[in-house]
Amino acid sequence: MKESLRSPRATCKLSHSVDKRLNAYVLAASAAGAGLLALTQSAQAKIVYTPANVVMVYGIYDLDLNHDGVTDFNIALEHPDVSATASALFCLGAGTSSSADEILGATIDSARDVKAGFVIGGWAKGRFTGHESFMAEGIWGSGKTYGFSGLWANGGKGVRNRYLALRFKINGKYHFGWARFNVSFPHQSLHAVLTGYAYETIPGKAIVAGQTKGTDDIPEGPDAALIPNSPQPATLGALALGAHGLSIWRREDSAPEHN
C-alpha cells in the first residue's frame, strides 16, 4: 500500500502591520491579566467593619475595636451629682484604656464630631490626644433648660451619623479607625447610640469615616474625597488596534447614554 505523499504546508507570512497588532494584543492581554490579579488582591478586605445598635446607658461601655478581647476605648454616659441649680445633668464622653490609644480632638479635651467622608490618617498625627474627650452635655432644672455644651450636642439639636476618629495600636503598630454615633436630647435627657465601628488592618494606612470596605490608596488630608468613579477600561481588541482602536474607545466612552 502506497503512502500518500503530501507537499509540505506553506508557511503563511503575516504582514508587518498584522504582526504588530497581534503583538500588541498579546501585550494588552498580559497587562489586563496582571491588572485583574491586582484588582483581585486589592479586593481582599482591609477594613474590618462591625455594625452595631448599642444604646448607651449610665456607666461605661468598653469598645474593643478589633475584637481581640482587649478594650481600646471607653464610651461614658454619666449623670454627675447635680448642683443646687440643676436637677438633671447628662454628660457623654470618650476615653482611652491605654496610653497608646488616641482620639482626634478639636481641643485637647474635646472629641471632634467628624462627618462621613473625612479622611482619618497620619496627616492628623499631632491632633490625636490620649486625654479623656468630652462629647456632649445637657443641663436642666425646674422644667427649664439651662444649656448644652460640646460639639456633639450641637446646641441641643444633637447629631446623626457623626464619627469619632480613632488611632490605636495592634502589636505595637498604629492603626486608624472610627466609631459612629447618633446623639439626641429627648425629654430633658441625653440619648446616645453607637451604630457601628471599623478599623484599617494595614498599619499606618488611612481610613475614611464611614468606610466599610477596603479600597485603593486614599489621598491624605482632612477633606479628601472618596475615590472617584473611574472611566471604563479599553477592551483588549481596541488596545490591539493601537491608536485607531484607542480613538474608537474614546468615541464610545464619550457617547451619550440611552435609557
Q: Does the pLDDT of residue 114 top 70, yes or no? A: yes
Which residues, at least 6 apart from 7, have a Cβ–Cβ distance to it below 8 Å? none
Q: Does the pLDDT of residue 223 top 50, yes or no? A: yes
pLDDT score of 228: 35
Per-residue model confidence as pLDDT tens digits over 54-71: 999 989 999 999 999 999
Cell of 33: 491579566
pLDDT tier at 185, thresholds 50, 70, 90: very high
User: In this structure, how many other beta carbons lie within 10 angstroms of the beta carbon of residue 175?
Assistant: 22
Q: DSSP for 36-76?
A: HHHHHHHTS--EEEEEEEEE--SEEEEE-TTSSSS--EEEE
pLDDT tier at 20, thresholds 50, 70, 90: low
Count of residues in the chain: 259
- The C-alpha atoms of residue 242 and residue 257 are separated, in whole angstroms, by 25
Residue for grid cell 489621598: 219
Domain ranges of the chain: 53-208
Q: How confident is the prediction for the chain on average, in pLDDT?
A: 76
pLDDT score of 101: 95
CB distance 200 to 92 below 8 Å? no
Cell of 156: 441641643
Among 13-17, 184-188, 220-224, top mean pLDDT goes to 184-188
Per-residue model confidence as pLDDT tens digits over 161-180: 999 999 999 999 999 999 99
pLDDT score of 113: 97
Cell of 197: 465601628
Q: Which range has the worst mean pLDDT, 126-135, 191-200, 248-257?
A: 248-257
Q: DSSP for 87-120?
A: SEEEEEEEEESSTT-EEEEEETTEE--BPTT-EE
- The C-alpha atoms of residue 22 and residue 32 are separated, in whole angstroms, by 15
Per-residue model confidence as pLDDT tens digits over 154-163: 999 999 999 9
